[in-house]
Chains A and B, each alone.
Chain A
Amino acid sequence: AQSVTQLDSHVSVSEGTPVLLRCNYSSSYSPSLFWYVQHPNKGLQLLLKYTSAATLVKGINGFEAEFKKSETSFHLTKPSAHMSDAAEYFCGLASGGSYIPTFGRGTSLIVHP
């Protein structure tokens, strides 16, 4: 069985400050991990993806995530938040030959001016 836990339902930051969105996973196999972003009334857009290559993955819009096997984590970070980053973020996991990802419940990122 596989599962994803997004540790914060809401994260609030000021514009220009760092962003940290936390994701822990559970899997019996080597996982592929994803971060997606969803803006209001939109579908999910892929930010970045880890598939057992480099543990530090760089994505679009300045986001990156680090795969830490010992901590079973795949946290999403960005050095400086922008107002346009305000959205819902989903962490996803696929493993064991299954390409259907399991998603976390989402983290709402709020960016204050």
Chain B
Amino acid sequence: KAGVTQTPRYLIKTRGQQVTLSCSPISGHRSVSWYQQTPGQGLQFLFEYFSETQRNKGNFPGRFSGRQFSNSRSEMNVSTLELGDSALYLCASSLYQGSSTDTQYFGPGTRLTVL
């Protein structure tokens, strides 16, 4: 079974631009979560989608948004990019068993550099 895939793997943008990242979950997985990873802040939860609905959200500004499609694929968008948005953005998918026993499987990430 193919793993979680993320595209693109690398992106370079300039301040003020916007960016869209894509994530395809493992086949059959219905929940997709997004994380931002930086050396200073570690792994921070952005948001989670299930059945095209955002169910959980971390503490990030409204510039960060996402959506999920009917095939469970997800995109996240960052508008008005800032230098501090430079990070590795990780997507994780899970079956969604509705409990803390659910396991998240991560993609390779998209490395975003904002100049």
Contact = CB atoms under 8 A, between A and B. Distances in A.
A103 interface: yes
B38 to A, nearest CB: 11
B100 A94 contact: yes
Interface string A26-43: 000101101010000111
B100 A98 contact: yes
Contacts of B100: 29, 31-32, 51, 94-99
Contacts of B107: 43
A101 interface: yes
A103 B105 contact: no
Contacts of B109: 42-43
Interface residues of A, number: 27
Contact of A101 (B6, B97, B104): B104
Contacts of B72: none
Interface stretch (B42-50, B61-69, B76-84): B42-50
A54 interface: no
Q: Give the interface size bracket for B toward A.
A: 20 to 34
Interface in A9-50: 29, 31-32, 34, 36, 41-46, 49
A60 interface: no
A100 B103 contact: no
A49 B103 contact: yes
A90 B44 CA distance: 12
Given A31-B100, A96-B100, A99-B102, A43 B94 contact: no
Contact of B43 (A41, A90, A95, A98): A90
A99 B99 contact: yes
Given A100-B56, A103-B42, A42 B103 contact: no
A99 B97 contact: yes
Interface of A: 29, 31-32, 34, 36, 41-46, 49, 51, 90, 94-106
